[in-house]
Structure 1
């Protein structure tokens, strides 16, 4: 199990310039696909226009499939320590369903991100699906643990839905509470402009292989 996980942490040898070129190319592509996902839900054009649109999409698929990889993206890094988990379902630069963009941190250790969830994340009518809330909190709590210098895998995630979370502008936020051995205890929440909608507590556990990887760096790696 450990070996199979480590195989997805790959030094791909790219230079910083090559990584920047990939960001400049694939980032906008992902944004275009993200817009298409929402448009597929909201369009009201007739069947003929749908057929024409699908022809264009088929042409785009044919171009993109000329050179592709199979399997998960994993976590990639280069010799200068730039980590990229661009396939991540919550924050991946190349994942069109990933709702979190830039993650920020304050001097007091608070980690947060401002996001906008559109209709493709709907659960109850007009509100965010509870599973999406769990995804967001798992990510931001894990980031708080990692940024504090105590990265780990999710051991437990306890979520309390205090009220329905509306679609639209939201903030996800987390902070390290304490550390006990290899366990990092983190608390966080999702809030709309009116206040907290969902609260969470998580325990993130660093397996032995992760501790060894962590100790090999002079500072905590920061995925892009």
Structure 2
């Protein structure tokens, strides 16, 4: 068993990214504006009609299902819809993950009011999403190895403030089909969440 990928050249990737990234950011801004707006009733109804018209336009030509692309040069999968890093997913922060030669990876990104749990703080589930993804990036060597989250353990050290954040992760060790990764999330005041994850090589990958 293996997962299907559509190969995409570097040129085509850049074309699609340049086209769709600004649209995704516009939708991201729309989400933020919708949460914060204090328009009167007439203004809200007018905005709703405009949004529904744009939605209808975008739905006029659509794929029947999403697909994961694989970069033809690097072999790295490019999941446009991924909720952590997807270029075409407005709920993704997004995380622009950097990989160092040491195997450590990190990302700096903004989490605004759309990710709020307690007032002024990031929802704990969003912290888990961010850390699960970046631990997976480290464990799978940039998503180039087939691994899935087996378990992830979080320790919430304090509230994670909305705003500019940093996440880091690295592999502690590998034992057979298991890879053990560790990561952190926080701001300029230090780490607010620690995470340990165990990532498992699936049966179909073991067989191949």
TM-score by length of 1: 0.84
Deviation at 1:150, TM superposition (A): 5.0
Cα distance in 1 for partners of 2:206, 2:186 equals 33
2:51 corresponds to which residue?
A: 57
Preserved contact between residue 151 and residue 204 of structure 1 (Cα < 8 Å): no
Gap runs ≥5 in structure 2? none
Deviation at 1:17, TM superposition (A): 2.8
Cα distance in 1 for partners of 2:137, 2:19 equals 26
Gap runs ≥5 in structure 1? 214-224
Q: Residue 109 of structure 2 is aligned with which of 95, 101, 115?
A: 115
The one-character-per-residue Cα deviations of 1:153-181 (angstroms, maximum 9, x if unpaired) are 00000001111111111111100000001
Cα distance in 2 for partners of 1:199, 1:78 equals 31
Cα distance in 1 for partners of 2:69, 2:206 equals 18
1:156 corresponds to which residue?
A: 151
Say whether 1:129 aligns with 2:123: yes
Deviation at 1:105, TM superposition (A): 2.0
Say whether 1:142 aligns with 2:136: yes
Spell out the pairing of 1:165-184 with structure 2 (5 A cutoff).
Answer: 165-184=160-179
Deviation at 1:90, TM superposition (A): 0.8
Preserved contact between residue 100 and residue 113 of structure 1 (Cα < 8 Å): no
Which consecutive segments of 4 or more residues in structure 1 shift more than 3 A?
Answer: 13-16, 78-82, 148-151, 210-213
Deviation at 1:101, TM superposition (A): 2.8
Say whether 1:38 aligns with 2:32: yes
Cα distance in 2 for partners of 1:14, 1:174 equals 28
Say whether 1:198 aligns with 2:190: no
Cα distance in 1 for partners of 2:103, 2:8 equals 31
Q: Residue 164 of structure 1 aligns to a residue in which SS?
A: coil
- The 3 A distance-change label for structure 1 pair 147 and 14 is closer
Deviation at 1:61, TM superposition (A): 1.4
The one-character-per-residue Cα deviations of 1:124-167 (angstroms, maximum 9, x if unpaired) are 11111000000000000000012276541000000011111111
Deviation at 1:65, TM superposition (A): 1.1
Q: Which moved more, 1:14-23 or 1:174-183?
A: 14-23
Cα distance in 1 for partners of 2:8, 2:182 equals 36
TM-score by length of 2: 0.91
- The 3 A distance-change label for structure 1 pair 212 and 94 is farther
CA RMSD of aligned residues (A): 2.0
- The 3 A distance-change label for structure 1 pair 190 and 55 is same
Deviation at 1:182, TM superposition (A): 1.4
Deviation at 1:15, TM superposition (A): 4.0
Q: Residue 12 of structure 2 is aligned with which of 15, 18, 42?
A: 18
Say whether 1:75 aligns with 2:83: no
Cα distance in 2 for partners of 1:103, 1:78 equals 16
2:90 corresponds to which residue?
A: 96
